Amino acid sequence: MDRQIYLDNAATTFPKPEAVYNFIDEFLREKCVNAGRGSYKLAQDATKLIDETRKLILELVNSRKNDKVIFSPSATIAINQILRGLEWSEIKNVYVSPFEHNAIMRTLHSLRKNNEFKINIIPFDNISFELNEEELRIMYSKNEPDLIIMSHVSNVTGYILPIKKCHELAKQYKPINIVDCAQSLGLVEVDIQNEFSECDFIIFAGHKSLYASFGVGGFISLNNDIKLNEVITGGTGSDSTNLEMPFNNEMFFEAGSYNMYAIAGLNAALKWHKNIGCESIYSHEKILTKKLIQGLQEIDGIEIYIPENLENHIGVVSFNLNGYSPQDIGRILSDEHNIAVRTGHHCAPLVGEFLDGYAINGTVRVSIGYFNIEDDINSVIKAIEGM
């Protein structure tokens, strides 16, 4: 059988850079001890690695002086820490986009069981994907936003959402602004002194566009005036006789032992990014994305779910083909062509309805990574043409 062609990079990028594999292996064998739990050199070195990794993330987003990086086991847990840490008695109107992942939507659904708030869907055109600014302005005036939480890049459509515009239109109401950058950080520019200047929290995932391993994600806290309540409690390695969590620093959110080999991998991945440059990664994916779209558009009976303005699109192409279910296409691509794609609803519960029923049974999702090549795209186009 031909080599495996992996096109499920929106779920997790694969493979990882050799520098990540090599550093994780070396670190796990020689230095993987508990950080913040000892005064010996190995423990101090582990703590220094964590601190360095925080700085590398802050550099990536063009941070300001008091911004903080909080590590968690995943972006999903980070979202829970933020949302469950907020004072919900003060939140009556939440705004989300129709592209949101269940890490957000299920958490909001869970919180509504004990809190009274309304979830408002930010209006986008379901054909062009363009934001309806006037309708959103009216929605904001009628139901003043207390919280806006939205993805930067859709994991289903590859659409790059207009974060800055949504925040600017709401600025007078002073909402809490949270942006899920699990898909985008490391691929699309995230500049907190420019487009993200109104953000309070940014979510990230190590195993996606940052090209690290599973087991590390987190959030960047950009507003020290928002005090989150504790969600996860436990040991932090210091002040151990105090039953309260240490307040006003990263450890308040980081109970338990750090996943040191995952953080080591993230450290190596961030240095790899710094050397390669996000612009190069973006450019490579853009070329392959354009090639994929052009090839698919020539196939009869195909429905592709992408924005009209492809300047606002990267890396992910979802589609359906007449006469086949998404699951059928996924099995054929895997069994007959050794091509790995994703099928279904992709943990995004609102997108099918947003697309006016076209994708109500899910989609086939092809998602591109830095290590894909043109032959991979040619192979998937040829395979679908043969159906």
- The answer to whether residues 283 and 314 belong to one domain is yes
pLDDT, tens digit, 9 for 90 and up, residues 251-295: 888 898 989 999 999 999 999 999 999 999 999 999 999 999 999
How many residues are present in the chain? 387
How does residue 1 score in pLDDT terms, banded at 50, 70 and 90?
Answer: very low
**Tally of structural domains, the chain:** 2
Phi, psi values for residue 311, rounded to 5°: -70, -20
Q: What is the CATH number of the domain that holds 293?
A: 3.90.1150.10
- The answer to whether residues 27 and 10 belong to one domain is no
How does residue 149 score in pLDDT terms, banded at 50, 70 and 90?
Answer: very high
Q: 70-88 burial, b for 16+ CB within 10 Å, e for fewer?
A: bbbbbbbbbbbbbbbbbeb
Mean pLDDT to the nearest integer, 201-216: 97
According to the model, what pLDDT value does residue 243 have?
87
Among candidate residues 276, 301, 316, the one where a domain is terminated: 276
Q: What is the CATH number of the domain that holds 91?
A: 3.40.640.10
How does residue 307 score in pLDDT terms, banded at 50, 70 and 90?
Answer: very high
- The answer to whether residues 269 and 286 belong to one domain is no
According to the model, what pLDDT value does residue 43 have?
87
- The answer to whether residues 264 and 284 belong to one domain is no
Q: What percent of the chain has pLDDT over 70?
A: 99
How does residue 202 score in pLDDT terms, banded at 50, 70 and 90?
Answer: very high
- The answer to whether residues 283 and 308 belong to one domain is yes
Task: Name the residue range of residue 135's domain.
Answer: 18-276
- Among candidates 156, 212, 211, 160, which has minimal Cα distance to 181? 160
pLDDT surpassing 80 at residue 247 = no
Two tokens, residue 185: 């950080």
- The answer to whether residues 245 and 283 belong to one domain is no
CB 258 within 8 A of CB 27: no
Among candidate residues 251, 276, 301, the one where a domain is terminated: 276
- The answer to whether residues 354 and 232 belong to one domain is no
- The answer to whether residues 261 and 292 belong to one domain is no
- The answer to whether residues 242 and 367 belong to one domain is no
- The answer to whether residues 34 and 179 belong to one domain is yes
- The answer to whether residues 205 and 286 belong to one domain is no
pLDDT, tens digit, 9 for 90 and up, residues 153-166: 999 999 999 999 99
Q: How many CA atoms lie within 13 A of 247 on its CB side?
A: 8
CB 16 within 8 A of CB 211: yes
pLDDT surpassing 90 at residue 189 = yes
Give the mean pLDDT of the chain. Answer: 95
- The answer to whether residues 229 and 290 belong to one domain is no
Among candidate residues 236, 258, 276, the one where a domain is terminated: 276
pLDDT, tens digit, 9 for 90 and up, residues 18-35: 999 999 999 999 998 888
According to the model, what pLDDT value does residue 38 have?
77
